[in-house]
Amino acid sequence: MEVAILNIAGEDTGKKVKLSESIFGIAPNDHAIYLDIKQYQANQRQGTHKSKERGEIAGSTRKIKRQKGTGTARAGSIKSPVFRGGGRIFGPRPRSYSFKLNKKVKQLARYSALSYKAQNQAISIIEDFNFESPKTKEFINILNSLKISDKKSILVLNEPNKNIFLSSRNLQKSKVVTVSELSTYDIINASSVVFIESSINNLQKED
């Protein structure tokens, strides 16, 4: 599969890039995508939730009524979970939600997500470019030229570029990452994936 390389004005430069079949043309594995996105979202959780149990809340431990003869259930403490203001039964405790996922599964998930985008013709490639200073307006002009300003998009750079990153930071539907940071979640979450020429070449070196 060949994709035309565009300039930042959205015009065809006459150059083309052949997309690797082993990255952009595989049979997508939905379960691998599910596992990778599940791990990504689990890693975003802080896991700092905590509620107090009966041994941790403030309150007297005095037995509130005699054991027998009241006609109601026995009660040993006002901190009992059955009373208002009592401790919580089996409440959440701080923990980590992260889990291990093999590198080959993560790679398969990413390639599967890219294959889906290639099938849907949602991949664009543009020439390498740079900004002399952070300019959100110039970044918006590029999105308009590619006709993706109203869609969720992700721009994949070959290496970090502060000016391009700062130019896009204020745009809700746009995200900029390097090829090494590109995740399955980012690919699936975006309607359009835009590679610069050097990043697509670097990605296909992995193959």
Q: Write phi, then psi, for 201 (nearest 5 degrees).
A: -70, -40
14 has a pLDDT exceeding 90? no
Same structural domain, 109 and 192 = yes
Same structural domain, 163 and 135 = yes
User: By the 8 A CB rule, do 90 and 160 touch?
Assistant: no
Q: How many CB atoms lie within 10 A of CB 21?
A: 12
* 129-140 per-position pLDDT tens digit: 998 899 999 999
Structure tokens at 97: 């939600």
Same structural domain, 107 and 196 = yes
Q: What is the pLDDT of residue 17?
A: 87
What is the extent of the structural domain holding 84? 51-91
Q: Check residues 203 and 31 and name the one with the higher pLDDT.
A: 31
Same structural domain, 117 and 131 = yes
Same structural domain, 30 and 104 = yes
Question: What Cα–Cα distance (Å) separates residue 1 from each residue in 24, 81, 115, 120, 199?
Answer: 8, 64, 11, 13, 17
Q: How many CB atoms lie within 10 A of CB 111?
A: 25
Same structural domain, 107 and 122 = yes
Same structural domain, 172 and 105 = yes
Spatial strand order in the sheet of 123-126: 12-18, 2-6, 123-126, 192-196, 153-157, 174-178
Same structural domain, 69 and 12 = no
Same structural domain, 11 and 111 = yes
Q: Based on the structure, what is the number of domains in the chain?
A: 2
Nearest-angstrom CA–CA distance, 122 and 10:
15
Same structural domain, 115 and 163 = yes
* 155-202 per-position pLDDT tens digit: 999 999 999 999 999 999 999 999 999 999 999 999 999 999 889 888
